[in-house]
Amino acid sequence: MDKILVVGAGFSGATIANLIAERLNKKVIVIDKNEHIAGNCFDYRDENGIMIHKYGSHIFHTSSEKVWQYINQFSSFNQYMHKVYAYIDGIETTIPFNLNTLYDVFPDSLAQRLEKKLLDKFQYNTKVPILEFQKQDDKDLKFLADYVYEKVFLHYTIKQWGVTPKDVDGLVTARVPVFISKDNRYFQDKYQGIPTIGYTELITKMLTHPNISVCKKTNFKTMDKRIMKDIQTTFYTGSIDEYFDYILGKLPYRSVEFKLEEYGREFYQNNSVINYPCNYDFTRIHEYKHYLKDKSQKTVIAKEYSENFKIGENERFYPIPNEKTKQLYSKYLELASKSKNIYFLGRLGDYKYYDMDKAILRAMELFEQLYQNHMQTLTQGVLND
């Protein structure tokens, strides 16, 4: 019997596998090179009963009813709304920089003057990318733009990406705007939260189906040829350049190292994530107890260090979008179009930074695109019965 192969057991792979198995009643083999499923969303409870996000904080947020209804089949979510703080001039304040931040870091008289000018210039509740915000004629707003660029964006970006903000794609710089609002939440999506059972268990449930078999510690390149003979279609969520053995060149990535530290006290910091734009070599500190309100007399933090990706030494985290890499990826896509029954998706397959909900939506839309006719036939058959 023809089977479907899904390479990668993160959200992208789990979604496409679940939909094919559940809605088409087809057999699906899911493989992952790691010892665990869930990709970079992998979490686990440590000996202290704390849910640890191994690869940094993951907060689920979406405004898509479609995605929210789908993912809630597998886990309930708490009502956690993410906030990020940062140390600016020794003051702990909210990020993105907003109207409340003004009053934290500046004297009231200056903050009031700046707030009035911001509200005269921009619509309330809008986000202005920092490089766009710098294009100011007003003396006070120019001062503010330069301050935010220097204190919030410049040094953090250099640490995270290894280059200045002007050398980073606009899609990246737009993720950390100036927010003309008093909303301290990092995301403004309708739905936000952490799965109450954890991400690993959620994805385990997605893959728990009679039609799905999961093989961990399995490399696509060295799979048993007898299994591959039965594969009808492959969905590949790994790196597209690796699939083609880097024949056109290597797509660059940034990687991240998370150094865990345990402390014998209830909390290390008063928030889940605190950024350090201008201090230390790490970009931020995560404290995981805040997400599910885990109870323990100890706490665990992770200091996050950004670094270049090196094959065989660390993991791919963030694609580096610019004109050169876009052109290279387009060439790989052209090569992929000549390959039969292979589809690329996910952060590495699409060479695109995805929030979790966008990865799920991309997989859902690919499924609908490929199997729409098949689904219509099945539906028509049911109606005729």
- What span, in angstroms and rounded, lies between the C-alpha atoms of 198 and 189? 20
pTM of the entire predicted model:
0.94
**All residues at 6 or more sequence positions from 357 whose CB lies less than 8 Å from its CB, including other chains:** 60, 61, 62, 64, 67, 68, 71, 189
Structure tokens at 239: 């790196």
- Per the structure block, which two tokens stand in for 254? 């940034």
Each of the 385 residues of the chain gets a pLDDT tens digit; together they read 568 999 999 999 999 999 999 999 999 999 999 999 999 999 999 999 999 999 999 999 999 999 999 999 999 999 999 999 999 999 999 999 999 999 999 999 999 999 999 999 999 999 998 888 888 899 999 999 999 999 999 999 999 998 877 777 776 766 678 999 999 999 999 999 999 999 999 999 999 999 999 999 999 988 877 677 789 899 999 999 999 999 999 999 999 999 999 999 999 999 999 999 999 999 999 999 999 999 999 999 999 999 999 999 999 999 998 899 999 999 999 999 998 899 999 999 999 999 999 999 999 999 999 998 666 554 444 434 4
Residue 169: what are its φ and ψ, rounded to 5°? -60, 150
The contacts of residue 82 (CB under 8 Å, 6+ apart) are 59, 61, 185, 186, 187, 192, 272, 273
C-beta separation of 260 from 298 below 8 A: no
Q: What is the pLDDT of residue 235?
A: 97
Strand partners, 60: 193
Residue 290: what pLDDT? 98
Could you give the CA distance from residue 263 to residue 285 in angstroms, rounded to a whole number? Answer: 14
How far apart, in Å, are the Cα atoms of 313 and each of 230, 256, 307, 331, 353? Answer: 33, 11, 11, 26, 21
DSSP bridge partners of 215: 31
Which of 199-202's residues contact partners 24+ apart within 8 Å by CB, and which partners? 199/38, 199/41, 199/42, 199/43, 199/53, 199/58, 200/36, 200/37, 200/38, 200/41, 200/42, 200/43, 200/44, 201/75, 202/71, 202/74, 202/75
Rounded CA gap, 199 and 320, in Å? 26
> Per the omega criterion (within 30 degrees of 0), is the bond before 96 cis?
yes
| Three-class HEC string of 113-140 | HHHHHHHHHCCCCEEECHHHHCCCCCHH
In angstroms, the CA 53 to CA 41 distance is: 7
CA distance 120 to 131: 20
- Output the pLDDT for position 229: 77
Cα–Cα distance for residue pair 120/207, rounded to 1 Å: 52
Going along the chain from its start, the domains and CATH numbers come out as: 3-76+196-248+320-384 (3.40.50.720), 84-180 (no CATH)
pLDDT at 377 (0 to 100) = 54
- What would the two tokens of residue 288 be? 């995981």
Residue 21: both structure tokens together: 């198995």
Is 262 in a helix, a strand, or coil? strand
Distance CA 245, CA 248 (A): 8
Which pLDDT does position 272 carry in this prediction? 98
Radius of gyration of the chain (CA): 23
Return the pLDDT at 379.
47
Q: What is the pLDDT of residue 382?
A: 41
Phi first, then psi, for residue 71 (nearest 5°) are -70, -25
